[in-house]
Structure 1
């Protein structure tokens, strides 16, 4: 057991006027399993790279362990898996890798297959197994869930729970809850470490936010009341001071000493009230710095002229000689929120492509309503490039509405001037979702929309779908999201 000390850390990218981190200090224990959370673009991956020594920074990071980053880059995916592992960590014992693969329910024979022949989920498991062969290292695990289906996520989460000494970046709430014992949160103004799993941290944050909002409202009322009192007392003081040179109604002269004393007393009281007012303002300024804005989103889905939109009856899809799914039967009716579930490779994305109208080789019965407008969110964000304004024009959507939605999803105005290629993975997915919310459609089809998206934005999207109840077919491996949103589940 040892400590990792971060002291007065400040960092900004070259050419940027905005610091990603500014004078932050905290400690981590190398035995902890930390979940790293924070909104997209806050610097989670940047922080991991700072630990790895990839960037220059001011302040100090001290640790008695080395750091290892996941995922490893694999240059020659055509090589056998065993050779890939040997290239990453040559000092392992064969029995060790077999033990780790067994824990992850991966067959030993994958070691003698080309690495590229495995599914993305299998590749993830093999690289995680390799990662945990390394001793005396603190592991930095960056979003391992993006290629894992729901069942694989549970398996990997159970695996990570048996380990210790890592930082895990993930936005999957159930995944984090199962395997972390501390949360490292990158907030608006600082970085905090808190004991407990994600749900415990989330409840504490909501309580703290609620308390600060209530305190801020109380202080605001106090400030207004004190401001009015200070003005009244100040006016009284001036009126009394002016009366020093006057004459009483009885004709006798005014006692200037008494009046002056009374005016001074009132002025002192006014100054005291002003001091209390300034104290309240100062106290208020310390609040709300880490309150996350999460304004409600809206969706204006078009009404369709029929109840039933799509029907599949015993549909099978083939690619050449390979059948990816068979006997698929379900309908989409207005108001349905359907989760299309199943393991990786079971044909979920192929079903979505068929419904969208892509040229797919299938058998069985497939019917789609005439003039049905579909808005699609793809898994793939690699096509995003150029500016947001040009993207809005090319997509045929209202630019003002598009950017307003992105603002609600925590985009800063400075982000609007950047090229889409510079956005984080989560920010790119938000661009696709914002575009979809702007499109005129009868049906929304979303393929793994939440990959890389932060938890607060996930909750916003959940609230949107629950409030407006649009007709939607989606594939998503976040079990909490599916549980909260789907009113139907189609299992492949």
Structure 2
């Protein structure tokens, strides 16, 4: 056991006026299995890069271990997989590697195939197996669940549960709950560490938020009551002051000693009220600083003139001589929230594209309602560049509504001034979802919409789908999300 010590860490990117981290201090145990959470753009990947020594920063980071980053950058993915492994860890022991690959259900024959011929899930498993072979290393695992299907996610999560000494960036609640024992959370104003898994941390956060909201309301009432008392005391003091040089109603002379004593008592009471009021204001100012805004989202889906929107009967999709899916049959009816489920490569994205109207070679029967309007969210965000204003205009959506949705998804106003190419992966995905929510459509089709998106935003999207019950067909590997919102599952 050893410690990673972070002291007075301060960092901002060149040309930025805003510090991402400011005077941050905490320590981590190298035996911990840390889940790293926080809303998109808060600096999770930046912090991992600071640990790796990629940027200059203020303060101090000290550790007796070295850091490795996942995903490891592969210079040439066309090489044999065993050559890629040698690049990552030249001194690996073969039988130890086979042991790790067996735990991850990767066949040894994968070593003798080119790395780029492996599925993305297999590539993830090979890199994790190799990196965990290294000794005296602390592994920084950045969003390994992207592009992993449900089965692979469960397998990798079980694998990580048996390991120790890593930071895991993930927004999949079930995945983290299974394999971490501490949570490192980047909040609005600080970084905190909590013992337990994600659900433990979230329950504690909800309790803390409710306590702070209740205290805030109590202090608001106290401040108003004390403010009213201060005004009354001030008025009394003013009235007493007027009697000093006057006479009583009876015409007798004023007892200036009594008046002075009474004025002094009122002054003392006034000072006491002012101090109590200031204390309440100071206490109130420490509350609510880390409560996340999670305003409700809306979707205005168009009603369709028929109950059934689309039908697939015994559909098979073929690429060249390879059949990616076969004999698929299901209908899409108004109000359905359908999850397409299956392992990577089983044809989920191809089916979505077929329904969206792309020219996909297929057999069987596919019928789609006439004049059916579809809003599509792609897996791919690489095309996003330029300003949000120009993107809204090009997409034919209302710019004010578009930006309002992004604000609810935790976009700071300063982000509106940036080029989209500079956004984080999660922020880019939010742009696509916000655009889809602005579009007037009968059916929403989303292909892995939650990749890179933070947990709180996932919960907002869940609440949206449950409240407004739009017709939606989607592919998503977040098991908690699917369990909460689906009405029908199509297993490929």
TM-score, structure 1 length as denominator?
A: 1.00
Is residue 454 of structure 1 aligned with residue 477 of structure 2?
Answer: no
The alignment partner of 2:407 has SS state of helix
1:112 alignment counterpart: 112
Q: Deviations over 1:320-372 (max 9, x none)?
A: 11100000000000000000000000000000000000000000000000000
Alpha-carbon distance in 1 for matches of 2:378, 2:182: 33
1:47 is matched with which residue?
Answer: 47
| TM-aligned CA deviation for residue 76 of structure 1 | 1.0
Does structure 1 residue 358 correspond to structure 2 residue 358? yes
Partner of 2:182: 182
Equivalent position SS for 1:456: helix
- Deviation of 1:111 (Å): 0.2
SS at match of 1:317: strand
Which position in structure 2 is the counterpart of 1:208? 208
| Pairwise CA distance, 1:270 | 1.1
Task: For residue 365 of structure 1, give the secondary structure of its aligned residue in structure 2.
Answer: strand
Q: Measure the CA separation in 2 of the matches of 1:278 and 1:248.
A: 37
SS in 2 for 1:460: helix
Contact 1:33 / 1:182 at 8 angstroms: preserved in 2?
yes
- Say whether residues 1:301 and 2:301 are aligned partners: yes
Please state whether the residue corresponding to 2:244 is helix, strand or coil: helix
Equivalent position SS for 1:67: strand
Q: Which residue of 1 aligns with 2:61?
A: 61
* Structure 2 counterpart SS, 1:332: strand
Contact 1:238–1:263, Cα closer than 8 Å, also in 2: no
- In the TM superposition, residue 249 of structure 1 has moved relative to its aligned partner by 2.1
State the alpha-carbon separation in 2 of the partners of residues 23 and 218 from structure 1.
31
Unaligned runs of 5+ in 1: none
1:148 corresponds to which residue?
148
Is contact 1:66-1:136 (8 Å) kept? yes
Q: Could you list the per-position Cα deviations for residues 43-84 of structure 1 after superposition, in whole angstroms to 9, with x for gaps in the alignment?
A: 000000000111111111111010111100111111110001
Distance 1:250 1:221 in 2: 42
Alpha-carbon distance between aligned partners in 2 of 1:248 and 1:4, rounded to the nearest angstrom: 76
Q: Which runs of 5+ in 2 are unaligned?
A: none
State how far apart, in whole Å, the 2-side matches of 1:161 and 1:120 are: 21
Distance apart, 1:250 and its partner CA: 2.1
- Runs of 4 or more consecutive aligned structure 1 residues displaced over 4 Å after TM superposition: none
Matches within 5 A, 1:323-362: 323-362=323-362
Q: Residues 381-436 of structure 1, C-alpha deviation per residue, up to 9 Å, x if partnerless?
A: 00000000000000000000000000000000000000000000000000000000
Deviations 1:128-179 (A, max 9, x none): 1111011100110000000200010000000000000000000000000000
257-266 or 43-52: bigger deviation: 257-266
- Classify the secondary structure of the residue corresponding to 1:331: strand
Task: Please give the alpha-carbon distance, in whole angstroms, between the structure 1 residues aligned to 2:231 and 2:267.
Answer: 11
CA distance in 2, matches of 1:95, 1:392: 55
CA positional deviation for 1:91:
0.4
- 1:18 deviates by 0.4
> Contact 1:12 / 1:20 at 8 angstroms: preserved in 2?
yes
- Aligned position for 2:277: 277
User: In 1, distance between residues paired with 2:120 and 2:141?
Assistant: 16
CA deviation digits over 1:28-56, x for unaligned, max 9?
Answer: 00000000000000000000000011111
* Aligned residues of 1:124 and 1:147 also touching (Cα < 8 A): no
Structure 1 SS opposite 2:355: helix
Q: Work out the CA distance in 1 between the residues paired with 2:479 and 2:331.
A: 23
* In 2: Cα distance, 1:101 partner to 1:187 partner: 36
